[in-house]
Amino acid sequence: MITLTPLSSSAAASSSSEPICYLLELDEARILLDLGQRDYRASSLQSNWEYEEKVRELAPTLSLVLLSHSPATYLSLYPYARARWGLTCPVYATQPTVEMGRVVCLAEVESWRAECPVDEETGAESSKLDKGKRPLRGPFVPTVEEVHEAFDWIKAIRYNQPLHLGGDLSHLLLTPFPSGYTLGGTLFKIRSPTSGTILYAVGINHTSERHLDGMVGGHNGPTGYAEGVLRPDLLIVEGGRSEVINPKRRERETALLDVVTSTLESNHSVLLPCDPSPRLLELLILLDQHWTFKLNPANKRRQASHDPWPYPLCLVSRTGQDMVSFARSLIEWMGGVVKESGGEEVVGDLAGGQKGRRKRRNAGAALGSEYGALDFRHVQFFLTPSDLLQAYPLMRPKLVLAVPPSMSHGPSRFLFTTMASTEGNVVLLTSPGEDTTLARELYQRWEKEQEESAKWGKGKIGKLGGMKGSLQIEMDSKVPLVGSELEAHLESERLAKEREAAHQAALDRSKRMLEADDLESDSESEGSDIGEDEAAADGILGAVTKRRQDANAFAGDGEDVNRTMSFDIYVKGQQMRVYNRPGEMTRFRMFPFLERRGRKIDAYGEGLDIGQWVRKGREIEEEGETEEVREKKRLKEEEEEKQKVQPEPPSKYISEQLSLDLRASLFFVDMEGLHDGQSIKTIISDLQPRKLILVRSEQIITSSLVKYLNATSGVTKDIYVPATEEQVKIGEHVQSYSITLGDSISAGLTKKWSKFEGYEVAMIDGKIAFAPGSTVPVLEASELVKPLPIEDEQIEKKVEPKPIQEGGVDVEMTSEPAKEVSEETAQDNAVQVKAEPEEEATEIVPAQKRIPYILPQSSIPSSLYIGTLRLTSLKSNLTKLKPTSIPSEFAGEGTLLCGPGLLTPPDQQVKSGSVVLVKKIGENGIVLEGTIGRVYDQVLRAVKDELARVNSS
């Protein structure tokens, strides 16, 4: 039984900007597919957190979590759920998804915490509140430590390597495949022995890019996909972009570089909001190569000015350098110009409209770095916008990439307020953004100014639009306290410290009251045994003096501490009360006694000079140190001093409303790297799933896609469109049984296995036998296990039975001829018995009484063909036949005409035997019509090659 429940981003009634999360229940296992979260500002403005409530409820019960991509909408809720909601199950993702996801979460967390207050709750407090069903309120922002701990917990996996899960999931097989959308993006294939194969394909791109290859890497098979992803029993795919028509990648890149070049050369700046990691690599490689071309001396003759390209390429991100470092260690996961030794580097001007010349060259040699296309020698990294404006004034032309792409907080939001009011500047958007964010509002303004045919999704590039009017924007910030506010804060901190010190002193005093006698006795003995000179030498004197002062905490003012002790009888100034239970009378200690301890000596009577040993140890340690060791110690101390986090100055969070007079221009070009409508329809048709579930789409778009798929031949009609939190149940509960192959059968299967859709299949003939003491039956050859009558008493044994081991069953041998059994008796007893009264027969009688059963006396065929014939694949294979290919063409639904007779001119007669018809009938029927001959034999062999042949044992 397979059950899928969309917790968010369903295909019935949802927005494309919702977080991605689906619950898959498979064979009693609860698997969570992705765990995303909205943008922090959008989450703080919403009033419904049903999705987060459901995740919190499910987190402790999950068996497995699979993370397919690294953007925030796929995994940003995972660190919080692990730290606060009891998510302790195994988590799997590829290594790039782990590292890039860590970068994304850290960038979001640090940026938000630098501007907005966060309600800090420890894990214990949060769990206690959760037990009380405390209502949730976003955003759900973890700490930096929680982010690192959560991503360290993830188990990294590699592409195309099947992984047998452990524990309760030991029967499942997990295989990841590349999806092409992000670095490390994954299509998860889950195989269950009882429920079939499930392919989770959300976030896919079939085309290659500058740093990634297309989905499943492929020129595998006639459809271009790896064999492992074809014909899944269930395909989970997104349909939200099924109505989108993408322009060609070169057209989009040219349009982006045209806008950047023209804006900079007009002495204005460009602001490009971007993702902290996953899609940022593609933009950096494109822009860095463009800067390399502009700075190439060979191209100066084509430039209006002979001065070098003077415009800086800047990235403002707290995690930008970490992202680049991680990417350089993950080159084997990439494709395009990065993975190849130089790839095809564009040496023409993409932005100039001229045709670019391509030249093969070594990337490392061309760029002067071992990192090749990931060198980024023209990119300058800045942690904060203030660092950027300090290096390059506001009016200096520059291209600034700033995170996050939603512009809801962080550097991109701040830089927008400083650049949007300058006429000539351009805000360049590469994604529509999430709902209720600043990026989505700006995108909607741009779209209103475009012609109907030039809007996004129509297959054309729009034009530059202007921002007119005013815009109210809320700016949050964290500023240091000054003046009276700082004094008031310091005063409150001082009072709090004093209260804490007083509370701690009270606790210490209570402790001393309970230990006063022991402390005084120890201090007296130590004070009389250790000299002041020795104590001063090794630091013991201070401790002794302190313990003398603390020896009796109840001495009156002006009294000699050394003469005081606690009495159990009432003595003024010397009483020592013992804490008692409530309701009991106060008790005093009795019979004061002071133990006089002698001088500390060893077993031989010699006094122990502790100070001497301490001094000697220090001298030996100093003499053994070399100059190199001393230098390392000094450097280590300096490094530790540098790494000490400086205490943050007292600050406060403020929020102010800004009214911006918008004068800059807007431009949008889709650089998300996702599929379009035609490609997703082709992908579904090529994968040939038996059942299909659509997710992450809007209702109108989903209805259109379902209508198209229903009208397309060869595509499954079992299509499900679940709403949010609606369960889709596929299949039925299947009872599975275990059986062991006996030696008599397994020995003959060495060369009998046939591969079929990832399985190995063989046809065997045998009978089941039960070994004593074992619950797992054994399948042995039919001649070794024979049927018996119901009543064991009906067989009269002439000899003493001698048990032997045969085929995993205890059997007894007898030489009595078998009794004749009529047909009616055999049917009544549900046993078939073969009687040969004229000859002495040997019958097998089990040592333990068995339940009789019917054994059909039918023979199995010598070979069997299994599988599904795909006429498109057959047509492709006939074309590739050697030495002579066979032409073919479709002649209607489920019919394929094959043979050289198809090429006969209309005025000539078709030769007999030159055309063969292949037709599919019903579910599994295949009919070949034609005259037997060479063409017929070749087509028949090609049809058999499309199926899996299973030979009997």
Q: Taking residues 540-568, what's their average pLDDT?
A: 42
Question: What does the longest C-alpha to C-alpha distance in the chain come to?
Answer: 136
Mark whether 289 and 147 lie in a shared domain: no
Which amino acid makes up residue 189?
Answer: K
Model pLDDT for residues 229-268, shown as the tens digit of each residue: 888 999 999 999 999 999 999 999 999 999 999 999 999 9
Mark whether 168 and 106 lie in a shared domain: yes
Mark whether 376 and 270 lie in a shared domain: yes
Does residue 190 form part of some domain?
A: yes
DSSP state of 914: S
Residue 454's domain is classified under what CATH number? 3.40.50.10890
In whole angstroms, give the CA distance from residue 119 to residue 761.
Answer: 58
Q: Which pLDDT belongs to residue 397?
A: 95
Model pLDDT for residues 74-116, shown as the tens digit of each residue: 999 999 999 999 999 999 999 999 999 999 999 999 999 999 9
Q: Which pLDDT belongs to residue 256?
A: 95
Q: Which two tokens stand for residue 821?
A: 């059994």
What percent of the chain shows pLDDT beyond 90?
39
Task: Give residue 587's pLDDT band: very low, low, confident or very high (50, 70, 90).
Answer: low
User: Of 686, 703, 730, which residue is a domain's last?
Assistant: 730
Number of domains in the chain: 3
User: Of 614, 636, 668, which residue is a domain's last?
Assistant: 668
Contact 663, 682 (CB under 8 A): no
Helix (H, G, I), strand (E, B) or coil at 550: coil
Contacts with 788 (C-beta within 8 Å, 6 or more apart), sequence order: 831, 833, 843, 844, 845, 846, 850, 852
Q: Which pLDDT belongs to residue 815?
A: 35
Cα-only R_g, the chain: 40
Mark whether 222 and 324 lie in a shared domain: no
pTM: 0.71
DSSP state of 369: S
In whole angstroms, give the CA distance from residue 184 to residue 278.
Answer: 9
Q: What angle do CA 124, 126, 130 make, to 5 degrees?
A: 120
Model pLDDT for residues 433-465, shown as the tens digit of each residue: 898 899 999 999 999 999 888 888 888 998 998
In this predicted structure, the answer to whether residue 805 has a pLDDT above a threshold of 50 is: no
Helix (H, G, I), strand (E, B) or coil at 4: strand
Mark whether 318 and 408 lie in a shared domain: yes
User: Of 636, 652, 668, which residue is a domain's last?
Assistant: 668
354 C-beta neighbours (distance < 10 Å), count: 10
Does residue 501 form part of some domain?
A: no
Q: Which two tokens stand for residue 583?
A: 């309701």
In this predicted structure, the answer to whether residue 43 has a pLDDT above a threshold of 50 is: yes
In this predicted structure, the answer to whether residue 690 has a pLDDT above a threshold of 60 is: yes
Picking from 210, 215, 245, the residue whose alpha carbon sits closest to that of residue 228 is 215
Mark whether 391 and 442 lie in a shared domain: yes
Contacts with 777 (C-beta within 8 Å, 6 or more apart), sequence order: 739, 740, 768, 769, 770
Residue 80's domain is classified under what CATH number? 3.60.15.10
Mark whether 325 and 473 lie in a shared domain: yes
Range with lowest mean pLDDT among 306-315, 488-497, 622-631, 780-789: 780-789
Q: Which two tokens stand for residue 171?
A: 């029967």
Residue 929: domain span: 871-948
Model pLDDT for residues 455-503, shown as the tens digit of each residue: 888 889 989 988 888 999 999 988 888 888 888 888 998 999 999 999 9
Mark whether 257 and 144 lie in a shared domain: no
Q: Select the more confidently predicted residue: 594 or 462.
A: 462
Does residue 333 form part of some domain?
A: yes
Does residue 536 form part of some domain?
A: no
Mark whether 222 and 322 lie in a shared domain: no
Contact 379, 288 (CB under 8 A): yes
Mark whether 221 and 259 lie in a shared domain: no
The partner residues of 920 in beta bridges, in order of sequence, read: 926
Does residue 866 form part of some domain?
A: no
- Starting at the edge strand found earlier in the chain, the sheet holding 379-382 runs 379-382, 313-316, 399-402, 270-273, 426-429, 665-668, 465-466
Mark whether 81 and 215 lie in a shared domain: yes
In whole angstroms, give the CA distance from residue 656 to residue 542.
Answer: 56
Does residue 579 form part of some domain?
A: no
Mark whether 26 and 47 lie in a shared domain: yes
Contacts with 396 (C-beta within 8 Å, 6 or more apart), sequence order: 269, 312
In this predicted structure, the answer to whether residue 295 has a pLDDT above a threshold of 60 is: yes
Does residue 894 form part of some domain?
A: yes
Does residue 575 form part of some domain?
A: no
In whole angstroms, give the CA distance from residue 23 to residue 34.
Answer: 9
In this predicted structure, the answer to whether residue 571 has a pLDDT above a threshold of 70 is: no
In this predicted structure, the answer to whether residue 809 has a pLDDT above a threshold of 50 is: no
